[in-house]
Amino acid sequence: MASWVSQLQNIAQQGDWAAVTQALQQQYHAGDWAQLSLDETAVLVSLAIAALRSGDFQDRWDIAKVFSGFGDAAILPLINLVKDDDEELDTRWFAVRLLGKAHHPAAIQALVELLNSDEDDLSTMASEVLATFSTDAIAPLSDLLRASQTRLLAVQALTQIRHSATISPLLTVAQDDDPTIRAVTIEALGSFHDPQVPPILIQALSDPSASVRRAAIAGLAVRTDLTESLDLVSRFVDRLWDLNIGVCQQAAIALGRIGTNAAVDALSRTIVAANTPATLQIDSVRSLARIGTPSAFNALETLLDHPSRHVAEVYQESAIALGRWTDPTVKNSAAQALGQSLTKFAHDPRIQQAIALALGQLQHPIAIEPLIQLLANQDMAVRLHAIAALKQIQPQQTHQKLEELQNSQEISPELRHGIAIALQEWQIELPQ
């Protein structure tokens, strides 16, 4: 036996695991292991396993880096360590990770068996590690789909692999009795552009479980290429009136992805409907903003014409959406619509603040005048938002205009006071 191997055994007997780890790393990087016999390699594996069992976290972390040098000789000892119910969970965690890096058939089988462990932490860990095996783990995981006690964890592991070879086994549980399994399966299938998948997703739109319906909508929403052939807009519109608000919101998001004029019309009707919850109205506004077409802009602009129909948050979200409009041909109209709406929402400072913020983001000169008039508002927060917006729109010229207005005798005392605050708060370096 090599002398340094014997020395390591003596060090291990003294319980100095840091020294054992350091020595193993040195020999590993020096390449001295290539000349070892099978018996000597077995000794080193046993020392490394002992370090995993008895060392502190740093020792375990360091010793784990040399296990790849053992090759197949470490597989069975690691499997035995994982299966040792008396061992600490942290130690078994390291062993699971090391088996995951081995990509050995026996390691796969051991991890698959671990999915059925009574210890949730270990079974979850095994599921995550199995996902790194790619196609090698699909066959043993597919076998586990047959047993109800291992089906969910097997599905979770398959969904993490993200390979088209998982489609066939996942299809076998797409209509499982367990709604959690159905939801996880539908979510995974939705990520594949495979002709077998859309019919399953369409069927899942009517599933008794809300989580399944949400997953089906999300999966179909990315298939904009099937919008017409599967009549996705109509299917999503049906789900806008689902009994579960989460499903309704997912449908609104999906229509935002579709982005057609029909989608815009559906979202607009949802916003103005009398019984639509505020949360769904807000999601519909955000979807219109995402669509970003002239028809979507018109829908948001029209929304601001009815200042008492909705809760404040809906108007705030609408103002924010218009302020972020990127189409330069529409910015003038957006600024004009927002500026005109300031007086309509004089009763609600929160909405006026949102409008002022949006006008500042648009940076269109047409917004300067209505923002200046907002400086006369009694609400300090509104005035500060107006000042912040004015600083973003031709700041030098706007600053000069405020100075001129301050000396005018034709403005109200309230506006004069607001201008004075604005000039005091103004932080801009004027040219010398």
Closest CA relative to residue 288, chosen from 249, 329, 322: 322
Rounded to 10°, the helix 197-204/179-189 angle is 140
The dihedral over CA atoms of 307, 308, 309, 314, expressed in degrees to the nearest 10, equals 60
> Which is more confidently placed, 73 or 114?
73
| Cα 428-430-431 angle, rounded to 5 deg | 150
pLDDT, one tens digit per residue, over 77-96 is 999 998 888 888 888 888 88
**Amino acid letter, 41:** T
Rounded to 10°, the helix 380-390/395-406 angle is 130
Closest CA relative to residue 327, chosen from 302, 361, 293: 293
What does the alpha-carbon distance between residue 292 and residue 324 come to, in Å, rounded to a whole number?
A: 10
Closest CA relative to residue 208, chosen from 175, 245, 250: 175
Identify the band that residue 34 occupies on the pLDDT scale cut at 50, 70 and 90. low
Compute how many other C-beta atoms are within 10 angstroms of the C-beta atom of residue 365. Answer: 13
Q: Which residues make Cβ contacts (< 8 Å) with residue 314, sequence separation at least 6?
A: 271, 278, 281, 282, 285, 303
* For residues 218-227, average pLDDT: 95
Phi, psi torsion values for 182, nearest 5 degrees: -60, -45
* For residues 123-143, average pLDDT: 79
Give yes or no for residue 179 having a pLDDT over 70.
Answer: yes
Class for the domain spanning 174-292: mainly alpha
* For residues 186-204, average pLDDT: 96
pLDDT, one tens digit per residue, over 334-388 is 999 999 999 899 899 999 999 999 999 999 999 999 999 999 999 999 999 999 9
CB burial readout 335-345, b (16+ within 10 A) else e: bbbbbebbebb
Give yes or no for residue 1 having a pLDDT over 70.
Answer: no
3-state secondary structure (DSSP) of residue 193? coil
CA 68 centroid distance within chain? 34
What does the alpha-carbon distance between residue 400 and residue 423 come to, in Å, rounded to a whole number?
A: 10
Which pLDDT score, from 0 to 100, does residue 199 have? 97
* For residues 190-215, average pLDDT: 97
| Pair 145, 169: CB distance under 8 Å | yes
Which pLDDT score, from 0 to 100, does residue 249 have? 98
Give yes or no for residue 244 having a pLDDT over 70.
Answer: yes
What would the 3-class secondary structure string for 45-68 be? HHHHHHHHHHCCHHHHHHHHHHHH
What does the alpha-carbon distance between residue 158 and residue 155 come to, in Å, rounded to a whole number?
A: 5
Give yes or no for residue 219 having a pLDDT over 70.
Answer: yes
| Average pLDDT of the chain to the nearest whole number | 88
Per cent of the chain over pLDDT 70 is: 96
What does the alpha-carbon distance between residue 222 and residue 251 come to, in Å, rounded to a whole number?
A: 12
Pick from 33-47, 267-281, 328-342, 385-399: least confident? 33-47
Please, what is the end-to-end C-alpha distance for the chain in angstroms?
A: 85
What does the alpha-carbon distance between residue 206 and residue 212 come to, in Å, rounded to a whole number?
A: 9
Q: Which residues make Cβ contacts (< 8 Å) with residue 164, sequence separation at least 6?
A: 192, 194
Q: What is the pTM of this model?
A: 0.76
Rounded to 10°, the helix 105-114/89-102 angle is 140
Element (H, E) at 189: helix 179-189
Q: Which residues make Cβ contacts (< 8 Å) with residue 394, sequence separation at least 6?
A: 365, 368
Which pLDDT score, from 0 to 100, does residue 432 have? 43
Closest CA relative to residue 239, chosen from 222, 252, 230, 226: 252
**Amino acid letter, 301:** E
CA 419 centroid distance within chain? 44
Identify the band that residue 408 occupies on the pLDDT scale cut at 50, 70 and 90. confident
CA 146 centroid distance within chain? 32
